[in-house]
């Protein structure tokens, strides 16, 4: 890729919008995942009895197992949310950038 083309892309307002929206959205989702994950890990570290409580009086499964599974499912959900937005709004902006570069 030549330097002129790279400069045209970087100066495109749609490119600036794409970078801003994508980075902001990725940071928000990352923070959400980190909060959930570290809350789970810190609970294990500082209050293991909270997650070590059996689900019922005659159960060997503790409440930590479904909560741990929920953390994993939450990660999949966030991935789906990002993918949906990336395939919609972000791809639309990307196509606008491509079309504006072709026109010039």
Q: What is the DSSP string of 57-104?
A: TT-S-BTHHHHHHHHHHHHHHHHHHHHHHIIIIIHHHHHHHHHHHHH-
Q: What tokens appear for 75 in the block?
A: 């990660």
7 falls within a domain: no
Residue pLDDT, tens place only, 6-63: 888 899 999 999 999 999 999 999 999 999 999 999 999 999 999 999 999 898 999 9
2 falls within a domain: no
Mean pLDDT of 83-91: 94
2 falls in which pLDDT band (50, 70, 90)? confident
Q: How far apart are CA 90 and CA 31, in angstroms?
A: 20
Q: Check residue 63 and give its pLDDT.
A: 95
Number of separate domains in the chain: 1
54 falls within a domain: yes
On the 0-12 / 13-18 / 19+ scale of CB atoms within 10 A, 51 is: middle
Supply the range of the domain harboring residue 89: 18-103
């Amino acid at each position: 890729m030549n330097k002129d083309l790279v400069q045209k892309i970087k100066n495109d307002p749609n490119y600036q919008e794409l970078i801003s929206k994508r980075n902001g959205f990725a940071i928000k989702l990352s923070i959400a995942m980190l909060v959930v994950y570290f809350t789970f890990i810190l609970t294990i570290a500082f209050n293991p009895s909270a997650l070590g409580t059996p689900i019922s009086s005659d159960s060997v499964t503790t409440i930590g197992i479904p909560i741990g599974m929920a953390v994993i499912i939450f990660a999949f959900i966030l991935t789906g949310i990002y993918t949906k937005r990336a395939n919609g709004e972000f791809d639309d902006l990307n196509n606008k950038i491509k079309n504006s570069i072709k026109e010039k």
